[in-house]
Chain A
Amino acid sequence: MSVLDSKVPKGPLKNKWTDYKNHIDLVNPANKRNIDVIVVGTGLAGGSACATLAELGYNVKAFAYQDSPRRAHSIAAQGGINAAKNYQGDGDSTYRLFYDTVKGGDYRSREANVYRLAEVSANIIDQCVAQGVPFARDYGGLLDNRSFGGVLVSRTFYAKGQTGQQLLLGAYSAMNRQIARGKIEMHNRHEMLDVVKVDGKARGIIARNLITGEIERHSAHAVVIASGGYGNVFFLSTNAMGSNVSAGWKIHKKGAFFANPCYTQIHPTCIPRSGDYQSKLTLMSESLRNDGRIWVPKNMEDVMAIREGRKKPTDLSEDERDYYLERRYPAFGNLVPRDVASRAAKERCDAGYGVNATGEAVYLDFASAITRYGTEQAKIQNIKNASEAKIYELGQAIVEAKYGNLFQMYEKIVDENPYKTPMMIYPAVHYTMGGVWVDYNLMTTVPGLYCIGEANFSDHGANRLGASALMQGLADGYFVLPYTIGDYLSDDIRTGKISTDSPEFIEAEKEAKERLEFFVTNKGEHSVDYYHKKLGKIMWDKCGMSRNEKGLKEAMAEIKALREDFWKNVSVPGGMNEMNPELEKAGRVADFIELGELFAKDALTREESCGGHFREESVELDGEQKGEAKRNDKDFAFVSAWEYKGEPADAVLHKEELEFNDIELKQRSYK
């Protein structure tokens, strides 16, 4: 029997969440006033959790490294949020959203969690509209939807290309209401350095004030980690510069198991890298694949001519282009899931068909969408015999209304007009499905310690579908955690205030201080970024879009050597009692290096291909699916939950077997 207990309620899938809610212990409103909850991170998950917990009556202490909760990286999510509303009448339902998400995750997520997510999805839209989130509407004044990869219905709600921004500002506004009422104590520009356990339970954190450098002790009856994903382990990703794994990694070292670290999402539509100085990669929303067609030239001569500037992509006729997604996956075409689209781009570029100087770019072309919309508009506006130019002008206006800000962003970065010439895109690290292991209550393996949003592992299996991250973040924060945490806190109504003078707090503070002291006194040779870039290169080359045993073993050894060198030779300017961005980075990179090694170990252990994890040794050898990823349900239908044992390489594997009672396990076919 595994030490892991997922605590999934008994009974039919459809009734689990309702039955659960009907039978949990509640905390009465008078007692809630005596209970403190710490929330680390104020993005969609953390921000919505803060607002709801405060509204219920708990005293919330919230922490963010940015200068305001409104700046959390959820703000950068572009495309949309899924919800099983079936407003389009296209056959959507809770079950279908559940089914798509489990299938999209390549059957590596926990059924009961995903069903609950699909169930509460519709509430999220109602809630956000009530808060004043300006979702896109049609001319009748009702909410508009679009379609995303991996599904055959239109269930994605959006606010231009800034859906994440609008949802985050919604959660931020709900927080503001509670901050004004004194129910949320907001600590901006603060970073959690460690979690504090008293009698085995999470009872507080050690935090650093990033303006003064002061180290602070904060206590609470429960601690919630909502610190986002760890994509920056690759150095280059679409994450914000400050996004980090430290909160998740620190709790891992204090007893929280870390699940499926190797499940990373490489997003197919990002702006290709252009040079070594590059600090981050920029995503172009997946929504673009609704109207954009992805292609490379069919003939190698054309590839060369384009690279050398002798030909332009618009010079190539239709039959000289290889729309490889439409060719390989006729049923889903350009809207295959992200992992499939990314690997297909890599396959073409590896074969030499990449269209820019680095050989790592494919085209995303809007010409046919512009013509299609233009023709439609000409009909609507009753324009007879419209010229080609007129049709293009009409169509461009529609495309601009849909994706204007994305096109503008592309033009600013690349200095090319994407209405006139196709965009160039290439996959980049975007999201991490892996994260801290949690049970059905979203509690980690440490009592009283919760983990929500991207920071946990629970809902997306081995691959996340587009527009599902915002859904999960808000579901966890608004509608799931506020119930489940009450069940735990009902035992704490007599505990009283937690003292920060206990030996546990003193010891945790001392350790945190010692580490900071090391950084500012160690006068080594290399900057923090030097190590971060080296780590990123190992990760991208050996733990990236495709992985093999030899590479993963090398990666583990190389990361270990890098870690040893880091602790000898890193150099951090400035002191610890002041604002010091380099010192902040040093702590984060130290944790990324440890995580990177566990990441490689996890990828090495999982000898199958599933979702974003592609092992070259595990592919279909023949038949219609030849060359596609091959899952191994017999041996690997489990969650890998790693227990910390000192060295990342010594981590101990615990398996949570995944049971699928309501879905038949199948080869994921998008053909």
Chain B
Amino acid sequence: MNLTLKIWRQKDSKTKGQMVDYKVTDISEHMSFLEMMDVLNEQLINAGEEPVAFDHDCREGICGMCSMYINGEAHGPDRGVTTCQLHMRMFKDGDTITIEPFRAKAFPVIKDLVVDRSSFDRIQHAGGYISVNTSGNTQDANATPISKHDADEAMDAATCIGCGACVATCKNSSAMLFVGAKVSQYALLPQGQVEATDRVKNMVAQMDLEGFGNCSNTGACEIECPKGISLENIARMNRELLKATFKS
């Protein structure tokens, strides 16, 4: 198929960017979206132009590196996938596709479609861990049974890949789903109880400090999340935060 691409080009974080039109031809429907971008870049390099910079790595939907806001949706039109898993069969010959970076105050653009998501890391530094030394002398893994239900729910929360689609898609650029997922994982497990109060308070405080917006319960994040992280995690985080506020 033949396509017209409207892509956000921006030299670096200081320079003003703009949308630029490109044409690609003979795109196979079996290609992934990023393979289509490879074709464009090869074309640009051969023409002596600068290729489009975009983040990507594993290309199997787990590293969370790829981003892109495609036709107004984080990771494009398909559900439950990252951009690298989006296939060209979702588009048709003659389509015009708009490709922008993830946009949020806390995700400044570095170049073209590449954004800086280190604010996510800083939220994790504030409390996204259980304080246990790697001595090898921890208790036997089976010493504390954990109900399958809790373990499965913790696992569902833990599958977050930290891509930032929830933030990009939210009209408030809120990171509540991302933070809620981590808080939930530990809140559901007995190992996480000791530090639960401080964890939720510190992570939420850091989230606010980074400039993420608040949650107004529209649920767009849950729909766009490539891993299907549930809104329940936000509710659980709010409950944990309320508990923590009363405790201190």
Nearest chain-B residue to A77 (Cβ)? Answer: B62
Interface string of B91-135 (1 = CB under 8 A from A): 000000000000000000011001011101100111011111110
- For residue A101, CB closer than 8 A to chain B, the reply is no
Task: Name the one of B146, B151, B159 contacting A165, with C-beta atoms under 8 angstroms.
Answer: B159
Bound state CA distance, A140 and B149, in angstroms? 11
Interface string of B12-56 (1 = CB under 8 A from A): 100000000000000010111011001100101110111101011
Report the minimal beta-carbon distance from A213 to chain B, rounded to whole angstroms.
10
Check A55/B133 contact, CB under 8 A, given A67-B116, A573-B50.
yes
- For residue A415, CB closer than 8 A to chain B, the reply is yes
Nearest chain-A residue to B78 (Cβ)? Answer: A412
Report the minimal beta-carbon distance from B9 to chain A, rounded to whole angstroms.
13
Bound state CA distance, A242 and B55, in angstroms? 10
Check A173/B128 contact, CB under 8 A, given A68-B118, A275-B28, A415-B87.
yes
Nearest chain-B residue to A164 (Cβ)? Answer: B62
Interface string of B160-172 (1 = CB under 8 A from A): 0110000000000
- For residue A120, CB closer than 8 A to chain B, the reply is yes
Pick from A130-138, A334-342, A362-370, A608-616 the stretch touching chain B.
A130-138
Interface string of B163-186 (1 = CB under 8 A from A): 000000000000000000000011
- For residue A169, CB closer than 8 A to chain B, the reply is yes
Contact B129 A141 (CB under 8 A): no
Bound state CA distance, A179 and B118, in angstroms? 13
Contact A134 B158 (CB under 8 A): yes
Report the minimal beta-carbon distance from B179 to chain A, rounded to whole angstroms.
14
Q: Which label, helix, strand, loop or mixed, suits the secondary structure of the B interface?
A: loop
Q: Tell me the chain A residues, 50-72 only, with Cβ under 8 Å from chain B.
A: 51-52, 55, 66-68, 70-72
Contact B136 A132 (CB under 8 A): no
Pick from B137-145, B212-220, B231-239 the stretch touching chain A.
B137-145
* Number of chain B interface residues as a range: 35 or more
Bound state CA distance, A573 and B50, in angstroms? 6
Query: Which residue among B31, B44, B134, B155 has the maximum number of chain A CB atoms within 10 Å of its CB?
Result: B134
Interface string of A122-154 (1 = CB under 8 A from B): 010111111110111111111100000000000
Check A135/B45 contact, CB under 8 A, given A52-B134, A240-B59, A241-B59.
no
A and B contact pairs by CB, cutoff 8 A, 29 listed: A67-B55, A68-B118, A71-B57, A75-B58, A76-B63, A85-B141, A126-B139, A126-B141, A130-B191, A132-B191, A132-B192, A141-B148, A143-B142, A160-B155, A176-B121, A176-B128, A177-B131, A188-B118, A277-B38, A279-B35, A408-B80, A409-B85, A412-B87, A413-B32, A415-B87, A415-B89, A574-B50, A578-B11, A578-B12
> What 16 new A-B contacts, CB under 8 Å, besides A137-B145, A412-B78?
A48-B134, A66-B57, A131-B191, A134-B151, A141-B148, A166-B158, A240-B59, A275-B31, A279-B34, A413-B85, A415-B87, A479-B134, A527-B45, A578-B11, A578-B12, A578-B111
Q: Which residues of A contact B (CB under 8 A)?
A: 48, 51-52, 55, 66-68, 70-73, 75-76, 85, 87, 120, 123, 125-132, 134-143, 159-160, 162, 165-166, 169, 172-174, 176-177, 179-180, 186, 188, 211, 238, 240-242, 274-275, 277-280, 282-283, 408-409, 412-413, 415, 478-479, 482, 527, 529, 571, 573-574, 578-579, 581-582
